[in-house]
Amino acid sequence: MSELNHECGVAAIYHLSGDEVSPLCPSQGPREVSRLMPRMLLDVQNRGQLSAGMTSYNPERQQLIDTHRKLGTVNQAFRLNHQGKSESLMRQYAGLAAIGHVRYATCGADDCSYAQPFERHHLQKHKWFSFAFNGQLANYTQLRDRLLAEDDHHLTRATDTEIIMHEISRELSGDRRLPLIDVMRHLATRFDGAYSLALLNAQGEMLVARDPLGIKPMCYAIEGPLFAAASESVALANLGFAASSIRSLEAGEAVTIANNQISVERFSDNPRRAHCFFEWIYFANVASTLDARSVYLSRKTLGEELARLEDLDIDQDAIVVPVPDTSKAAADAMAFKLGVPSIEGLIRNRYSGRTFIEGGGDRKKKAATKYTPLPEVLAGRRVLLVEDSIVRSTTMRVLISKIREVGRAKEIHVRVACPPITAPCFYGIDMSTISELFAPEFLKEGQSAEEWFAAMAAELGADSLRFLPVESIAKAVDKPAEQLCQACLTGDYPTPCGQKLYDIAIENYRSSSGNETQRTYEAVS
């Protein structure tokens, strides 16, 4: 079984019935509000480029809810570059409500059956539903084994998305007609991990929920008869929602729409918060605001922290060069504080995607074709190369080599706007074993941070390497450290199953001398 890895984008939109018409709706009218879904998904495309899809609800259609999903980007999945074919899709899936999803590389990467939303047909309308999910269940294996142990159950995919589908179905089984908020209350007692999800059923009921710890982001807005939600606020802002109406869904909170009424309710009373810091560092669109904190301002503060801790003698040959695009805000802020130019010495191919979240293939080859160094900028310079994070070091190795050989830089000093990543993530980021991470191999007992950084710099071929301390993250995100999930930095996981998986990962790493052949989930039974 391949390990589960998710970092996806979720979106939802609903036009409530009535005489009022929202100015944000397409000209075709409220019953075709689903036309806005591809546009919303384009704004969260940064979260996944492998597949895209949507489910719409139309009470006047034979297929009350209907799902379209394809491998590829949003443009490819919805044929946006072909007006006739795109228009045909929009007419076919027209509805007054829709949910959507973009996905990045996970198990089953080349199989469209892994694309979301997942739709489950049923004769009874309240049991016929579709849902889209961002996150990862750390107790996936336990949930899977329990399902398979009962009766003659069978699972067709190695994914927690299918587990969630069956768990929702169990809550709807028999003669019970639970409100969707109660379904979430029950599921929350069984799920260990991260999940933001959107659900739509054949009765026209919608649920948008965020996990009790708030690990994964979810934003929503209501203006007049129009409701919309997305993993990031930028998708709502670009629809035309006023900034004052866009809110982050609180941890353990859900929005439900039933009987033409919108309700925002809590389904979990867990007081702990564990927002994923990596959202502000890397994943989220720089134009987004998550949990009342601007992504841009967070990255700007990280750059100021880099400048405050810089110990390199700055001379007229020094320049700051960001690794496009996610490190630019940090690089510009660092350069401003240091009083040196921030220059685009690396040009990124805008059509190459994001190496960290691309599906399949060789990351090294993708990184090599992704950036072009400019010798006109770099030659003879002392380059302060600013990166948002180093996970596997694939991109950084390629960049240093190209900047030195093609760019002819005199010196390369790497500055990382993040602490070293030393532990796997079991909540939805594609780094699941210790051996695939760059930093742990060089961490020796009793050594100083300077010695650790020097060993990594030598391996990368850099003249020096500096990371931010863990304390800088809470400062940049403007939240207490205890309200953040920083498990991949500290090894302190916010859920019991996450901590258990880390213990297994450490044992696998030690017993294999850093060459794990087995994924962490495969070791759990």
If pLDDT is split at 50, 70 and 90, which confidence band does 353 have? low
Does residue 284 sit within a domain? no
Does residue 289 sit within a domain? no
Question: Does the pLDDT of residue 412 top 80, yes or no?
Answer: yes
Quick: pLDDT tens for 491-517.
999 999 999 999 999 999 998 876 665
**Domain ends where: 240, 273, 306?**
273
Q: Which of the two residues, 65 and 368, has the higher pLDDT score?
A: 65
Residue partners of 146: CB distance under 8 A and separation at least 6: none
Does residue 509 sit within a domain? yes
Does residue 210 sit within a domain? yes
CB-based contact 377:343 (threshold 8 Å): yes
Domain match, 14 and 155 both: yes
Neighbours of 91 (CB within 10 A): 11
Closest to 217 (Cα-Cα) out of 418, 51, 8: 8
The whole-number pLDDT of residue 352 equals 65
Q: Check which CATH number belongs to the domain holding 366 and give it.
A: 3.40.50.2020
Q: Tell me the catalytic residues.
A: 8
CA distance 457 to 489: 19
The whole-number pLDDT of residue 112 equals 85
Domain match, 264 and 350 both: no
Q: What is the mean pLDDT of residues 21-44?
A: 89
DSSP string, 210-264: E-TT--S--EEEEETTEEEEESSTHHHHTTT--GGGEEEPPTTEEEEEETTEEEE
Domain match, 201 and 331 both: no
Quick: pLDDT tens for 428-485.
988 889 999 999 999 999 999 999 999 999 999 999 999 999 999 999 999 999 999 9
Does residue 380 sit within a domain? yes
Quick: pLDDT tens for 253-309.
999 999 999 999 999 999 999 999 999 999 999 999 999 999 999 999 999 999 999
Does residue 385 sit within a domain? yes
The whole-number pLDDT of residue 334 equals 98
Quick: pLDDT tens for 142-185.
999 999 998 788 888 878 999 999 999 999 998 889 999 999 99
Total number of domains in the chain: 2
The whole-number pLDDT of residue 430 equals 84
Domain match, 367 and 468 both: yes
Domain match, 27 and 152 both: yes
Domain match, 263 and 188 both: yes
**Domain ends where: 223, 239, 273?**
273
- Phi then psi dihedrals of residue 453, to 5 deg: -65, -40
Q: Check which CATH number belongs to the domain holding 57 and give it.
A: 3.60.20.10
pTM of this prediction? 0.92
CA distance 57 to 95: 5
The whole-number pLDDT of residue 516 equals 63
Question: Does the pLDDT of residue 355 top 60, yes or no?
Answer: no
Domain match, 320 and 221 both: no
Structural domain that includes position 514: 294-523
Residue partners of 96: CB distance under 8 A and separation at least 6: 14, 15, 17, 30, 31, 32, 33, 34, 57, 58, 59, 204
Does residue 128 sit within a domain? yes
Domain match, 301 and 252 both: no
The whole-number pLDDT of residue 106 equals 44
Domain match, 267 and 304 both: no
Q: Which two tokens stand for residue 340?
A: 């040196």
Give start and end residues of each alpha helix (H) in 260-416: 278, 295-309, 328-338, 363-370, 375-378, 394-405
The whole-number pLDDT of residue 4 equals 40
Distance of CA 506 to the CA centre of its chain: 25
CA distance 365 to 360: 11
Question: Does the pLDDT of residue 240 top 50, yes or no?
Answer: yes
Domain match, 236 and 305 both: no
**Domain ends where: 238, 273, 308?**
273
